[in-house]
């Protein structure tokens, strides 16, 4: 069941944080095997950020993602770079406000994570909205696990905001899934 997930965008969007929360959900709360890695430049913000999570029910050898089962792209640059490295039956989730391109495949799930986060009061939780969406669309981790991992990973005073972001992401994901996208 090896699932290779790539989350990418630009520095500061919480791409790496999202990958850590997803990996922790699988490894600690769903009792699966997970391996998370990231690549980033020396810049603190603004450069390209890419994180990878592999989830499996048996020990993980190669820790790198080559052709992803799931791609979450939160910038046009990230989609342009990694949009093709997805399996034919793989899942693509994008933020349509940030990935505005005519190249988008029909099967892509548009989740306006940044706009949803903004409506919740803080764009910083856009990454958590995406985690809610990917959970609802793919079931790669359980809803209980992603919730537990998120709550454990964020500062206590932002617990409620993150829970709302997660719920909003799940709702958006379920809605698209119900429409038969993908």
Cβ neighbours of residue 67 closer than 8 Å, sequence gap 6 or more: 4, 85, 86, 87, 90
CB atoms within 10 A of CB 179: 9
CB of 89 to another protein, least distance (A): 20
Query: Among 124, 121, 147, 135, which residue's Cα sits nearest to residue 172?
Result: 135
Instruction: Quickly tell me which residue has 């069941």 as its tokens.
Output: 1
Residue closer to another protein, measured from CB, 64 or 121: 64
Residue closer to another protein, measured from CB, 39 or 122: 39
Cβ neighbours of residue 102 closer than 8 Å, sequence gap 6 or more: none
CB of 26 to another protein, least distance (A): 8
CB of 177 to another protein, least distance (A): 27
Beta pairing, strands 48-56 & 3-10: antiparallel
| Contacting positions for another protein (CB under 8 A) | 20, 23-24, 27-28, 33-42, 60-64, 66
Residue closer to another protein, measured from CB, 62 or 100: 62
Residue closer to another protein, measured from CB, 34 or 120: 34
CB of 25 to another protein, least distance (A): 9
CB of 12 to another protein, least distance (A): 17
Residue closer to another protein, measured from CB, 1 or 179: 1
What is the phi/psi pair of residue 5, to 5°? -115, 130
């Amino acid at each position: 069941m090896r699932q290779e997930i790539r989350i990418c965008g630009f520095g500061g969007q919480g791409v790496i944080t999202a990958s850590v929360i997803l990996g922790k959900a699988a490894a600690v709360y769903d009792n699966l095997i997970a391996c998370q890695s990231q690549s980033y430049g020396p810049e603190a913000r603004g450069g390209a950020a890419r994180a990878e999570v592999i989830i499996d029910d048996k020990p993980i050898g190669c820790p790198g993602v080559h052709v992803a089962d799931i791609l979450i792209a939160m910038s046009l640059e990230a989609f342009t770079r990694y949009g093709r490295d997805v399996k034919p039956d793989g899942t693509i989730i994008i933020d349509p406000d940030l990935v505005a391109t005519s190249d988008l495949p029909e099967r892509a799930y548009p989740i306006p994570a940044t706009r949803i986060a903004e409506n919740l009061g803080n764009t910083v939780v856009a990454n958590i909205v995406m985690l809610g969406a990917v959970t609802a669309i793919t079931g790669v981790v359980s809803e209980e696990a992603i919730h537990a991992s998120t709550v454990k990973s964020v500062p206590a005073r932002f617990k409620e905001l993150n829970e709302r972001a997660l719920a909003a992401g799940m709702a958006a994901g379920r809605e698209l899934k119900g429409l038969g996208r993908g």
